[in-house]
Structure 1
Amino acid sequence: MSYPVLVLLVGLERLAELVVARRNAAWSRRHGAVESGRGHYPVMVLLHTALLAGCLAETGWGERPFRAALGLPMLALLLAAQALRWWCVGTLGPRWNTRVLVVPGLPLVTGGPYRWLRHPNYLAVVAEGVALPLVHGAWLTATGFTLLNLPLLAVRLRCENAALAAGPARPAGGVLAAAP
């Protein structure tokens, strides 16, 4: 498989996430969800779109060669990140979203990967942001995405944690977002 096809497949996976997120957002809003973090969401969309574009640009214009010693382990990491992301989606069911939507009164999800991590989807995002570019040696994209994603991820985690902690009763779990 060629690298542009792999990037295209990841892009299609992102579109599938958006379809699921849109359906789940409608469910959440019907159940009284409160949205937080609207301000950082467009930045997140832009950064994650730039990751895909950067992978293609750097490998095309930068003439990055495929090196199996790095590319194959990174491909395995990328596939593991995708599996973790969809495990999160499946565990959270209709509460999973790319936005921070909390339905008051629902208990926190503590099954699946949430048994071990509070925000396992972000582990998948970080792994993907490193692995996808490095499958084909796009180290500038991997570095740039990681350096820009870390402060954005800090904002996102603060936003989610505050949203989950807000309210008279422990409101809701399941706001963990996959990157668009």
Structure 2
Amino acid sequence: MIWSILLLTAVTLERLGELVLARRNTRALLAKGGREVGAAHYSTIVSLHAAWLIGLWLFAWNAPLETGWVVVFAGLQVLRFWTLSTLGRRWTTRIIVVPGETLVTTGPYRFLRHPNYVVVIGEIAVLPLCFDMPIYALVFTLVNALVLTIRIRAENAALSGSSHAQQP
């Protein structure tokens, strides 16, 4: 039980910290002349992630952990950190197009066009599996797939419309 609470607390603090970082970076990118693209679906993404995490707190806080899945989740955190550190001040949870900026092609972006979404897809599925909740993982993975389809289309349109977009 204590390990479940610690894992959920760590994920919650990570997500809250990311929101603070994203807000700061978004303000800076907009101040540099950036413009947001695809804002209409942003509240859906936030709602999905909030519901996912709240549900995990409700249903998994006292569940035993599946060690193998925790290891996979830890690996996803390494990719998350690599992605965020590669983008630095350009990372945000929104799609911001900044004139004069070039696309990042280092770090995980050498191998994947959207490494952050690989992490998100993995986390949505794997964290519930850490608590032996496969149906929860499946339901949120399917909903996440629908939302990310919209998100990635908007981002790809922004990237193809301008070679100067940041990649979240």
What residue number does 2:119 align with? 124
Q: SS of the counterpart of 1:147?
A: helix
Deviations 1:90-112 (A, max 9, x none): 10111110011121221110000
Q: What count of residue pairs does the alignment treat as equivalent?
A: 167
Q: SS of the counterpart of 1:2?
A: helix
Distance in 2 of aligned mates of 1:127 and 1:148: 13
Q: Is the 8 A contact 1:58 1:141 kept in 2?
A: no
TM-score (norm 1): 0.87
What residue number does 2:151 align with? 156
Q: SS of the counterpart of 1:98?
A: coil
Aligned-partner residue type, residue 121 of structure 1: N
Distance in 2 of aligned mates of 1:153 and 1:76: 25
Instruction: Give the counterpart of 2:64 among 66, 72, 81.
Output: 66
Aligned-partner residue type, residue 106 of structure 1: E
Deviations 1:29-65 (A, max 9, x none): 11111101111111101111111122222336xx8x5
Distance in 2 of aligned mates of 1:59 and 1:106: 42
Aligned-partner residue type, residue 6 of structure 1: L
Distance in 1 of aligned mates of 2:16 and 2:67: 25
| Displacement after TM superposition at 1:127 (Å) | 0.9
What residue number does 2:167 align with? 175
Q: SS of the counterpart of 2:39?
A: coil
Q: Is the 8 A contact 2:29 2:96 kept in 1?
A: yes
RMSD: 1.5
| Displacement after TM superposition at 1:66 (Å) | 2.7
| Displacement after TM superposition at 1:165 (Å) | 1.5
Q: Is the 8 A contact 2:103 2:167 kept in 1?
A: no
- Structure 1 alignment gaps of length 5 or more: none
What residue number does 1:165 align with? 160
Q: SS of the counterpart of 2:113?
A: coil
Distance in 1 of aligned mates of 2:109 and 2:157: 18
Distance in 2 of aligned mates of 1:94 and 1:150: 27
Distance in 2 of aligned mates of 1:102 and 1:92: 14
Q: SS of the counterpart of 1:39?
A: helix
Q: Is the 8 A contact 2:128 2:134 kept in 1?
A: yes
What residue number does 1:54 align with? 55
- Structure 2 alignment gaps of length 5 or more: none
What residue number does 1:27 align with? 28
TM-score (norm 2): 0.93
Distance in 2 of aligned mates of 1:147 and 1:15: 24
